[in-house]
């Protein structure tokens, strides 16, 4: 079964357009958990431990897809049980912040965002979130309606699951046994560097840099993303080796 984890301000249904392909690739209905239904009190490592234990109890052959914050959570789940997941695709995923000063600044920024999501007019904070540089040139995601979220859960996620809230992961990734495909948009230079850094830290990591794409790769280049998934997964079988692919930009 394929478990797909959305990013911050996302919902499980963000993956709905990919459901037929994911069902085909795993010969099972995929799972798209919603991460913001209740406020978390768990750190990212604690969440990863609990999630991987739940998956282990019901799925004999799980694979992971994670986007942005969901990619970081996926890494924590894989670190909690390094031999559980058969393969993973991580999109626009960072490893955490090494520099203490940068970590402290990020924590302050995330706290401000958390307070805004908890208190500010919904339309204003959504507009501000989408105006960030990291999303420049990327099309908006599906409409984000206030009624679909627990605003306290959004604030808690920014506090507990921020890259500033956990130790950097690069030094631990060599315990992960599964093949991992790291995906980043060519216009998203920061996450291209993170993808390359992650791949270098893994036993079996490859990088796919998507020409013309930004941070929201699957929804900017859906057909290319589907093709890459087909190439990385073999239907109902073992992993198909994939050479690293990069763009020329």
Q: What is the pTM of this model?
A: 0.91
pLDDT in tens, 60-106: 999 999 999 999 999 999 999 999 999 999 999 999 899 999 999 99
pLDDT in tens, 29-48: 999 999 999 999 899 999 99
Alpha helices per DSSP H over the chain: 19-26, 44-58, 69-80, 100-119, 122-130, 151-160, 189-201, 217-220, 222-232
- What is the average pLDDT across 115-137? 95
37 touches 153 (CB < 8 A)? yes
Residue 78: what pLDDT? Answer: 97
Rounded mean pLDDT of the chain?
91
Q: How many angstroms separate the CA atoms of 148 and 150, rounded?
A: 7
Question: Is 249 a residue whose pLDDT tops 60?
Answer: no
Residue 195: what pLDDT? Answer: 96
Residue 135: what pLDDT? Answer: 93
- What is the average pLDDT across 188-213? 95
Q: Predicted confidence band at 140 (pLDDT cuts at 50, 70, 90)?
A: confident
Q: How many angstroms separate the CA atoms of 1 and 123, rounded?
A: 36
Q: How many angstroms separate the CA atoms of 224 and 62, rounded?
A: 23
Question: Is 189 a residue whose pLDDT tops 70?
Answer: yes
């Amino acid at each position: 079964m394929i478990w797909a984890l959305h990013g911050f301000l996302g919902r499980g249904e963000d993956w709905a357009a990919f459901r037929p392909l994911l069902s085909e690739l795993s010969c099972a209905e995929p799972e798209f958990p919603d991460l913001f239904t209740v406020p978390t009190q768990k750190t990212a490592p604690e969440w990863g431990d609990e999630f991987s234990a739940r998956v282990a109890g019901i799925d004999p052959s799980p694979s992971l897809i994670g986007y942005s914050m969901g990619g970081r959570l996926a890494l924590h789940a894989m670190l909690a049980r390094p031999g559980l997941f058969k393969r993973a695709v991580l999109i626009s995923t960072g490893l955490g912040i090494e520099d203490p000063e940068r970590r402290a600044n990020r924590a302050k920024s995330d706290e401000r965002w958390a307070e805004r999501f908890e208190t500010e007019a919904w339309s204003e904070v959504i507009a501000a979130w989408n105006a960030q540089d990291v999303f420049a040139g990327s099309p908006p995601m599906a409409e984000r309606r206030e009624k679909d979220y627990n605003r306290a859960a959004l604030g808690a996620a920014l506090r507990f699951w921020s890259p500033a809230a956990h130790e950097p992961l690069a030094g631990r990734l060599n315990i992960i046994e599964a093949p991992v495909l790291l995906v980043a948009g060519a216009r998203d230079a920061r996450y291209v560097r993170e993808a390359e850094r992650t791949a270098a830290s893994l036993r079996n990591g490859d990088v796919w840099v998507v020409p013309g794409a930004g941070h929201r790769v699957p929804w900017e280049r859906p057909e290319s993303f589907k093709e890459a998934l087909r190439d990385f997964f073999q239907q109902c079988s073992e992993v198909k080796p994939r050479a690293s692919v990069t763009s020329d930009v």
